[in-house]
Structure 1
Amino acid sequence: MCEDESHLNRRALLVTGAATALTLGTVSFADDAGAAERRSGQETRTIRGTLPTGAPDFVYLPVEIPRGVRQIHVAYAYEKPAVPPGTPGNALDIGIFDERGTGLGGRGFRGWSGGARTEFFLRADDATPGYLPGPVRAGRWHIVLGPYTVSPQGLPYEVTITLTYGDPGRTPKPVYPPERAKGRGRAWYRGDCHLHTWYSDGRRTPAEIGALARAAGLDFINSSEHNTHSAHAHWSDVAGDDLLVLLGEEVTTRNGHVLALGTEPGTFVDWRYRARDNRFGHYARAIRRAGGLVVPAHPHATCVGCNWKFGFNDADAVEVWNGAYSPEDEVALSEWDNALVAAARGGRRWLPAMGNSDAHRDPDPVGRPQTVVLAEDLTREAILDGIRAGRSYLAESKAVELSFSAAGGKGAHAGIGERLRVAADDPVTVRLDVKGVPGCVIRFVTDQGVLFTSPAVGPSGTGSAEWRTTASYAAYVRAEVRKPQTAPPLPGPMAALTNPIFLGR
């Protein structure tokens, strides 16, 4: 074993065109000193250092890999000293890029586990979840450290790299889930598009997620691991005639998280930038080129780096309900509704709302909430079309069903996400029918705010409400189904909500 601390004095601060990055001195295995260890089959280096408060977002540790390596194994640890109340402590993420480099776009990307693991390995035929199997080719690799938060005392760390020599083995061809399941034609399909397994910081396997999704009455799900697409090749056995599995990623930047939803298999989306770097638009376009949707996740979450700072001009939809309904969701809903007003006033494109569970581990429920989409069939293309068009509503569980429509004169009719084309003063009747919501109230919300609230739905959980208006009075109408108030005057938690129906020509 060789230990090296002196290389830390030979570091350089690089500006990469996105986030600044600290590049440390190179760790070399390709020298005569390691010849004896290579003959024995393994060779190890340990690196120690300390990152100061205010360290760059990413710290790269170059590693020269010689020929003949079968496996690379990396373990790391760091100190977590006590900090004053209200002060973030140490948290350090980790990942790796191969000899193809660390350039933005991810050509050399080989895996990321964030702070979920203390060690990982990769070789041609296998890798730790979160990492991509493939040959360990000779050249300059880079271990990437991400100091998520650094305490006032600094962040002392240790990285141990072990190479195993031998036959490189073969990389299996990935098998991806099909893009079609056995649907019901044009129908309402239930999905949860924000889920985590052990391929990032979740604790469930894909098979466990699949079983929970079926129990939750879901028709489709989306793989959304933090900053890695390594799970894509592990969903084919989970998908079936009754469950469509879409592939994607939760792109986890220092200025917010965004779902790359329903991308082509094997699509990797880089995360190494902040809002000030003006790079997000490029990667949003890359998600769309890969056939996916751009969906900012939990935009008002309070965890460090979780609050969405990139704006919504490049988004296709927005997650306004994340897990158990919370004050964060209430703020996201209000912001989304304000954007609907601006879109209606200016005749601009509007963003549909989504709801997802963001389930990580027991007891996080899968499919609570869920997005219910009107799609032509249970295919990747049809589901994404339905989400993009806003033909969807959000429900707490499979027990909640609703039907929402608006009707005008001469047979004019519109459903969720559509426009009822009527004259400004023509009478419009808005109707909501709902099941599975005992004790809840129905609210109709317009660009003026809440203009109708029903009495509480009875014990059967089945109810309906009608309201008459005009396009001159309401530019759009959307429905909410709320549980009883727990902290008046705030409204009760959400049981369901719809995307809007727009009124007028």
Structure 2
Amino acid sequence: MGDDDQDGIEESGRGPGRRAVFVAGAATALTLGSVTFASAAGQRRQTRTVRGTLPAGSPDFVYVPVDVPAGVRELRVAYAYDRPAVPAGTAGNALDIGLFDERGTALGGRGFRGWSGGARTEFFVRADDATPGYLPGPVRAGTWSIALGPYTVAPQGLAYELTVTLEHGEPGAAPVRRYPPERARGRGRAWYRGDCHLHSWYSDGRRTPAEIAALARAAGLDFINSSDHNTHAAHPHWADEAGDDLLILLGEEITTRNGHVVALGTDPGTFVDWRYRARDNRFGEYARQIRRAGGLVVPAHPHATCVGCGWKFGFGEADAVEVWNGPFTADDEVALAAWDGLLVAAARGGREWLPAMGSSDAHRDPDVVGLPQTVVLADDLTRTAIQDGIRAGRSYLAESRDVSLAFTATGGRGLRAGIGERLRVAPDAPVTVRLEVDGAPGCVPRLVTDEGVLLTGDPLPSGGTGVLQWRTTAAYAAYVRAEVRHPATAPPLPGPPAALTNPIFLGAR
């Protein structure tokens, strides 16, 4: 049959019971029987199709070994699964997919070759190219593993079909990897705007890096962070989009079954594993890996209600926390209140405190890049300077480039503190807190302390500019932070924020 010769054999399995369950150092996993290929002599293409059914209660990850012979140029996988009707309130079927090469599936190991979650029904890898979300590289002989992630399984079970195709021939040349620079042309010590939670077509987004970069520039951003789900495959594809006007940091959104966390500004090519739950006591290990790679650990949308999204690892390993994710919703209000509770605990115990961040989590139209954005006071527009500002809490969150804040606390003898700082005054010494707002017409400024909202201003005029000033003491307020809220739409709940700040702490530590 010439160039289209293929060996198309079907195998069926009622898995999972074809090989024993094992513990992969963390969450339980299951390995099924191998997909094998006969001798490739004289053939250009070989195909195998396997079928199976995963029951409700399956392990988090199911591995299908594929015995890859020598001389393979390309490995391609296509999959499908059933979606039966389920009773109201019951989760239906959702099956994620990824790939590990002959180096194995061990947690944190070198075998990772890509992950598309549920965003694609097929993918390929070869030396010179790969489907977005997967890593180009040679298809070496050995046992590869297709990783299935039964995210949710219907009561009837999850019937799946996998088709594996091997193309034989000479491998292509490996692509040259280039990464964006760690510095852009800044303005010295200044306020820089960024969006650190974005998804491209290298995971489940629908935008290319070029499209995201263009939207970031249009939104007035100075920096962004690449954070595709469970893969670092996008990292080399950002180099052409960076420029003197836009700093592009590299990272990943680690999407576990007990919450998501953004690795912010890691070294190029850093992969962080996600295959564990809170009960496995492994998150600390991977948080330390993020820091060793020069990144920050930022739990994302910690009170989101989607399956697996709620944050259950605690905040002891976090460098900041996302309290505003995309358009402000009820779960953001809960996240903001919970974070404020952490500030109270830090003030009470004199401990380090956790700064707040906001990011868009934009995936596709009509998601708005830069809604919200984190505005950081940094010494320059560099990776380390931006990270230092975020880690110190020298930042506020704004819904767009149009909104700007200036927030300070002053005491006697020229003492002054800004966002994220401490005004060191005696408990009864007078303190003046001043909030200046620009670009928020009709919004209501207010000041929040460890006791709650203690001062609310009048709605800002049509020009959107105004000042709110308050006199207090460190004995009365352990810290003060500012919010600028849109008018309430469902009283007594406040309206969504146009901006909010990290705190200024008052008093000697």
Where on the TM-score scale, by shorter chain, does this alignment land: which range? over 0.9
Report the equivalent of 1:118: 121
Gaps of 5+ in 1: none
Matched, 1:25 2:33: yes
CA root-mean-square deviation: 0.8
* Structure 1 counterpart of 2:386, from 380, 383, 387: 383
- Following TM superposition, by how much is the alpha carbon of 1:300 offset from its aligned partner in structure 2, in angstroms? 0.4
Report the equivalent of 2:10: 3
Map 1:329-408 to 2 at 5 A: 329-408=332-411
- Following TM superposition, by how much is the alpha carbon of 1:17 offset from its aligned partner in structure 2, in angstroms? 2.1
Matched, 1:198 2:201: yes
Aligned equivalents of 2:306 and 2:50: distance in 1?
Answer: 30
Q: TM-score, normalised by structure 2?
A: 0.97
Other structure's SS at 2:407 match: strand
- Following TM superposition, by how much is the alpha carbon of 1:169 offset from its aligned partner in structure 2, in angstroms? 1.6
Report the equivalent of 1:502: 505
Aligned equivalents of 1:141 and 1:399: distance in 2?
Answer: 51
Report the equivalent of 2:79: 76
8 Å CA contact 1:106, 1:269 repeated in 2: no
Map 1:83-482 to 2 at 5 A: 83-482=86-485
8 Å CA contact 1:483, 1:493 repeated in 2: yes
- Following TM superposition, by how much is the alpha carbon of 1:347 offset from its aligned partner in structure 2, in angstroms? 0.6
- Following TM superposition, by how much is the alpha carbon of 1:40 offset from its aligned partner in structure 2, in angstroms? 2.8
Amino acid at match of 1:28: T
Aligned equivalents of 1:107 and 1:260: distance in 2?
Answer: 19
8 Å CA contact 2:25, 2:107 repeated in 1: no
- Following TM superposition, by how much is the alpha carbon of 1:7 offset from its aligned partner in structure 2, in angstroms? 8.0
Q: TM-score, normalised by structure 1?
A: 0.98
1:404-424 C-alpha deviation (Å, 9 max, x unpaired): 000000000000000001111
- Following TM superposition, by how much is the alpha carbon of 1:273 offset from its aligned partner in structure 2, in angstroms? 0.1
- Following TM superposition, by how much is the alpha carbon of 1:6 offset from its aligned partner in structure 2, in angstroms? 4.4
Amino acid at match of 1:411: G
Aligned equivalents of 1:184 and 1:312: distance in 2?
Answer: 33
- Following TM superposition, by how much is the alpha carbon of 1:375 offset from its aligned partner in structure 2, in angstroms? 0.2
- Following TM superposition, by how much is the alpha carbon of 1:65 offset from its aligned partner in structure 2, in angstroms? 0.4
- Following TM superposition, by how much is the alpha carbon of 1:482 offset from its aligned partner in structure 2, in angstroms? 0.3
8 Å CA contact 1:92, 1:115 repeated in 2: yes
8 Å CA contact 1:228, 1:249 repeated in 2: yes
8 Å CA contact 1:222, 1:248 repeated in 2: yes
8 Å CA contact 2:32, 2:64 repeated in 1: yes
Deviation >6 Å, runs of 4+: none
Other structure's SS at 1:397 match: coil
Overall identity of the aligned pairs, in %: 76
Aligned equivalents of 1:239 and 1:291: distance in 2?
Answer: 19
Amino acid at match of 1:301: A
Other structure's SS at 1:209 match: helix
Aligned equivalents of 2:460 and 2:372: distance in 1?
Answer: 20
1:381-425 C-alpha deviation (Å, 9 max, x unpaired): 000000000000000000000100000000000000000011110
- Following TM superposition, by how much is the alpha carbon of 1:28 offset from its aligned partner in structure 2, in angstroms? 1.3
8 Å CA contact 1:191, 1:218 repeated in 2: yes
Aligned equivalents of 1:77 and 1:10: distance in 2?
Answer: 20
Report the equivalent of 1:57: 60
Q: How many residues align?
A: 500
Gaps of 5+ in 2: 1-7
Aligned equivalents of 1:204 and 1:352: distance in 2?
Answer: 29
Aligned equivalents of 1:52 and 1:86: distance in 2?
Answer: 19
- Stretch deviating more after TM superposition (6-15 or 439-448): 6-15
